[in-house]
Structure 1
Amino acid sequence: MTPASQIKPRPVRWMWQDRVPAGALTLLPGREGIGKSLALVWLTAQLTRGMLPGIHHGHPRPVIYAASEDSWAHTVVPRLMAAGADLHMVYRADVRTERITNDQRVSGVEPLTLPRDNTELTEEIKGTGVAMLALDPLMSVIGSAIDTHRDRELRTALDPLTQLADDTGAAVVGLSHFNKAASSDPLNLITGSRAFSAVARAVVAVARDPDADDGSCVMSQAKNNLGRLDLPHLRYVVREATVRTDEGETRVGRLVFLGESARGVDDVLGDTASGEDRTERDEAAEWLRAYLTDPAVGGEAPATEIYKAAGRDGIAQRTLQRARSRVGVRTTPPAPGRPSVWSIDPTKGDTQ
């Protein structure tokens, strides 16, 4: 038994300010072909150049990048170059093995496998000062004997991984895929056991916006156990970039952020949800518009008061959050002694 008085409290440290915590597991899920790997490459480039807002801003830090689905020579390195990463600070994770076969020592190289390689990986992260362990995708580094659809089995890999993050202070960011179910909740769409989203402290989801003329995608904070959930949605596009190699030019994708987005991932996913879900969201949007435009409210109100008022009328907090973009709500972050404030932004949403 350890009394709480003997446990030293620590503040949350953010690798990417308010979005990706250091020393914890973060998931980056989405459907295939919308730039998830490019988002991870972008994070890698920003970290190695000291440009990412957060605790490492102004201090370039190394990254260990484990990629199993793409060729390093043809895809990963050219993408890193296009994103402006410092290649000297990005490390590929390989596991060197030695076996005795027919009385002869045979050496080889195997891909990273967790939790088998956790001890050695922890030592490398500490010794190199790595800020992020990038797993592209997370599923590929989990031992093949583990059934990733069984909660208890999967936790035998995820729990040691979160312990690795806590012990080293490095952020562990793993890519994951959406399944083919129809839901407006990104957490319900993550392929595999529910343990993936349960163990992760943060989930940053991405989705392509079919209503966007420029083919852009949106990025939203779908889970944030250690910080704010009402963060601005971000919008990005994937543009072609030409990279020069010793053998000629090659073309790869490069992620470019366009700024904040009125629509979030749950809005995009909600467009394919059931009619009942859409009706609930529409009703919540109408309620929110009426509430904020009420002269007694004056156009803005603390989020906590809005949640309470909506709850009295039977509107769930999650539904209200999904309805914000339809109304064109602008949010201001909370500050010491002051909650987040919602107000109607006339330049966004359908304010009628």
Structure 2
Amino acid sequence: MTNLYALPDDGDPRSVAMGPNPYHDGDYDGQGEPVANRSILKLRRLSEIKTPPPTRWIGPGWLPRAELTVLVGDEGIGKSLTWVLMAAHITKGTPCPAFNIPARKPADVVLVVTEDSTGEVEERLKLAGADLERVFIFSAKEDGTEPPTFGNSVRSGAFETLDSYLGDDELNPALVVVDAWLDTVEGNLNIRDTQQARAALNPWKIMATRHDTAVLLVTHTNRADTANTRNLMGGTAALRQKARMVLWAARPPAAEGEDSALPRLVLGPEKSNVTGLADAVVMDVEVAQVRPRSDEDPGTTAYLARPASMCQPIRDLVIQWHEDERQQERQANRKPTKAEEAAAVIREYMTGREEAPTAELKTHLSGKGFGKTAIEDALKAAGTSAPTGRRQPYVFRLHESDVQSIDDVELPGI
């Protein structure tokens, strides 16, 4: 058996030859050991080390080359439309300001898709303006079905096959998309085990580095009741650890007066090891008619439109939305005070009246069981009490904002 720790050719007894090196191609002997390009374990002066180049980007702050990027979001919110939009601009070479993608020479995109049909993917890409000649589906069947599963080695199975395709001189892969990543992990790998998850992710990092391509792995959140995005990432903690960039997709709450039926998607970098976090962008999720409607097929597909900056990082927005939701729940579940209950009785009593004697109103509230403090606070909160003239009795009138019909009043259960 080949000795992995044989002395290297430099004759230094303190050097140890290591192999195989998964980051470099080379010839391997019958036992899978490298004959050439063997890594050498030794002390090296930092001043003499050939350091790797700085991170290069497809879209600065959004999509790095030669690295893993993870796209995370709840199911069904339209996060896959994000990579569709990216792919369209990459294959056309056109700029996409929303993701800082500049105009450049068109490049190819490789897709491993498990959740959407090939037909749906094609319609979305066409609608986004992609060059379909530059989009490649990696699958077992001619119709694009049966996406592969991947193990933990670049030298076997689907990884080996994909690696050979990406190395083809005819292909210029700028982006590889795996949607959804968890569906492509071989069943014998337990991704809840951090070590096994890292082993499953490592070949993707190798492929990204070897072919100078951006690898985008798409996954879902776990729907935990928390604003901590780290804890919301589904599947495994290793996914966030291994990724150089994490993009977070979310459905924002409807603003006051906004139609909640109009879906929107907010997307932003949640983690970046090499740059500051860019502000999130918000886009409308639109639906277009792409083929004739039938009883069995609405003939529509979705796309993203009208991007705009949210002027905040996505992490801050998620925390804010979570706190607003909790506050609304607390408000909805809060038991009203005696003064608030008394104010509701006042509004019911004043229905159809412009004014009422204050003394009469106080007597009515006392008869309902309210104390003096609750009555006084309720009168101040619901309206004003003043005499109609000198030495005249006090008269109560509701605030303008409190003038409403009995149908709009929620009475306490007393």
Q: Output the TM-score relative to the length of structure 1.
A: 0.69
1:92 aligned onto 2:141: no
Amino acid at match of 2:167: K
1:64 aligned onto 2:110: yes
1:156 aligned onto 2:199: yes
1:270 aligned onto 2:319: yes
1:313-328 to structure 2, matched below 5 A, reads none
Q: CA deviation at 1:121?
A: 1.2
Match of 1:49 in 2: 92
Q: 1:91 to 1:198 in 2, by over 3 A?
A: same
1:221 aligned onto 2:269: yes
| Distance in 2 of aligned mates of 1:81 and 1:200 | 29
Asked if the contact 1:67/1:135 (under 8 Å) is kept, the reply is yes
| Distance in 1 of aligned mates of 2:285 and 2:313 | 18
* Structure 1 unpaired stretches of 5+: 97-108, 279-352
Q: CA deviation at 1:141?
A: 1.4
* Structure 2 unpaired stretches of 5+: 1-40, 152-156, 328-414
1:184 aligned onto 2:227: yes
- Bigger Cα Rg: 2
| Distance in 1 of aligned mates of 2:102 and 2:147 | 28
| Distance in 1 of aligned mates of 2:285 and 2:186 | 32
Q: 1:18 aligns with which of 61, 70, 76?
A: 61
How many aligned positions are there?
A: 264
Match of 2:189 in 1: 146
| Distance in 1 of aligned mates of 2:113 and 2:131 | 17
Indicate the SS of the match to 1:155: helix
Q: 1:239 aligns with which of 274, 286, 289?
A: 286
More displaced stretch, 140-149 vs 166-175: 140-149
Q: CA deviation at 1:163?
A: 1.0
Match of 2:128 in 1: 83
Indicate the SS of the match to 1:119: helix
Q: CA deviation at 1:173?
A: 0.4
Indicate the SS of the match to 1:28: strand
Match of 1:258 in 2: 307
Q: CA deviation at 1:140?
A: 1.4
| Distance in 1 of aligned mates of 2:111 and 2:95 | 17
Asked if the contact 2:270/2:313 (under 8 Å) is kept, the reply is no
Q: 1:21 to 1:182 in 2, by over 3 A?
A: same
Amino acid at match of 2:60: Q
Q: CA deviation at 1:95?
A: 3.9
Match of 2:30 in 1: none
Match of 2:149 in 1: 113
Amino acid at match of 1:135: V
User: CA RMSD for the aligned pairs?
Assistant: 2.7
Q: CA deviation at 1:219?
A: 1.1
Q: CA deviation at 1:144?
A: 1.6
Indicate the SS of the match to 1:195: helix
Amino acid at match of 2:194: D
| Distance in 2 of aligned mates of 1:203 and 1:85 | 24
Asked if the contact 1:43/1:52 (under 8 Å) is kept, the reply is no
Q: Which runs of 4+ in 1 moved over 4 A?
A: 52-56, 271-275
Q: Output the TM-score relative to the length of structure 2.
A: 0.59
Q: 1:178 to 1:137 in 2, by over 3 A?
A: same
Q: What are the Cα deviations for residues 199-219 of structure 1, in whole angstroms up to 9, with x where unaligned?
A: 000001011110332542211
Select the structure that is richer in strand: 1
